[in-house]
Each structure stands twice: as C-alpha cells, then as structure tokens.
Chain A
Amino acid sequence: DAKTTQPNSMESNEEEPVHLPCNHSTISGTDYIHWYRQLPSQGPEYVIHGLTSNVNNRMASLAIAEDRKSSTLILHRATLRDAAVYYCILRKLDRPGNQFYFGTGTSLTVIP
C-alpha cells in the first residue's frame, strides 16, 4: 500500500497559518497526492489534491516538494472549524480501482 507519514497531532492558534507536513518517500511518478479531513463522527471531506505543481483552492494550498517525496498542506488562517484529523493519501494510478489507503493522519487542534 502507498505509505504516507504524518505527525500524530499539531496545534495552531486561531487566525494563524498552519503547515501540515506529509512524507511519502515511496511515491511513484504517477501517484496523485490527496488531502482529506475528518471532523468527529463524520465522513472525510475533500480538501485538495495535486500531482507535481503547487495547488491553491478556497480551502487551502498544497505545496509539493520538487522530488515529490513530501508535501505540505497549508491553511492560511486557521479557524475553530478547521479542527479535524487531516489525512494525506497517495492515489496510485496503476491500481485499477484507484483506492484510497488512509494513513494515521494528523489531529489538528486550533486554540482560540
């Protein structure tokens, strides 16, 4: 299974930027990097995804290292509603079902 490594937990002050790291040293050239987040007792929610270039959307930015062995999810101004578990997932293009295999994720605490 495609392996990602994330810190178990992180804290951030409200309205400050948050950088959530993810290591994926076994990534292959065609693997997409997806980020989802999960609030307690809910299903995961899509945040962002990318392949090689940095990506921005209304929720966050994704910075991908040049060698693609790591990436960072950036929340520009953390709010209390951003407190969740954030999962970094590799989607392998050569896998017929394009399944997601979730790692342990990072539990983000936002301090008011």
Chain B
Amino acid sequence: GAVVSQHPSWVICKSGTSVKIECRSLDFQATTMFWYRQFPKQSLMLMATSNEGSKATYEQGVEKDKFLINHASLTLSTLTVTSAHPEDSSFYICSARDIAGQGAIYEQYFGPGTRLTVT
C-alpha cells in the first residue's frame, strides 16, 4: 500500500530556533499534501493544504509566516516551524493524496507523525 514517511520522528529544539519537518510519499506521487497538528488527547487539526508548485492554503487562525510550507516536488512537502516557542510543542502529522487515485477515492495516506518539543 501507499506509504508516507516523515522525518524526523521526534525533535527537541530550543525556543527561538526553527525546525523543518519533511513529509515524503514513498511509492506514489502526490499533488496535494496536508499538514495537521495534534495536541495530547485531542483530535487532529488541519493546518494547511500543500499543493505542488504553488502556495499552500492555510486554515483560518494558522499563521503562514510561522508555519512555512514548501511542496517542491510530487513526493516531498516540508513544514518549517519558525521561531518556535513552547506552545508550538505538538504532534505534527502530514498526509498525501495519490495523484493516480489508487485505492479509495480521495483517500489520504498519513505519515507516522513528528513529535516536536520546544524547550
């Protein structure tokens, strides 16, 4: 089946620094990838929709200058948390949609998530 990877799986950084998280579709191409954030014991919250070759679309309330998204190829999207603060500590999950439509219609394949801790 379709596999999505994320790197790193966990990261600890100091307040004020920036952190980049990669999301890759390993065996399929994805024109659209999605980034979610999940706090402990809560549901996933959609942050943005990442489209290959164009600007990301951010959900209301998500700061685009703080969460920079780049979708440079059909298999890679990156999320950069700039000037991270402790309140940005969370579980970040990406997903990708198969361009060829394999599997369920508009099914999203999710990555394993990245645990970010800002100290």
Binding site for B on A (CB under 8 A): 32, 34, 36, 38, 41-46, 49, 87, 91, 97-105
Nearest A residue to B97, CB-CB:
A98
Q: Which residues of A contact B4 (CB under 8 A)?
A: 43
* Known A43-B4, A87-B43, A102-B43; further 13 A-B contacts with Cβ < 8 A: A43-B6, A43-B93, A43-B113, A44-B95, A44-B110, A46-B109, A49-B104, A97-B32, A99-B34, A99-B49, A102-B36, A102-B45, A102-B46
Nearest A residue to B115, CB-CB:
A41
**A48 CA / B72 CA spacing, docked (Å):** 31
Inter-chain contact A99/B46, CB cutoff 8 Å: yes
**A100 CA / B57 CA spacing, docked (Å):** 14
Q: Would you list which residues of chain B between 93 and 119 have a CB under 8 Å from chain A?
A: 93, 95, 97, 103-113, 115
Q: Is the interface of A mostly helix, strand, loop or mixed?
A: loop
Q: Would you list which residues of chain B between 1 and 28 have a CB under 8 Å from chain A?
A: 4, 6
- What are the nearest 6 A-B pairs in CB distance? A43-B110, A102-B44, A97-B49, A102-B43, A44-B110, A98-B106
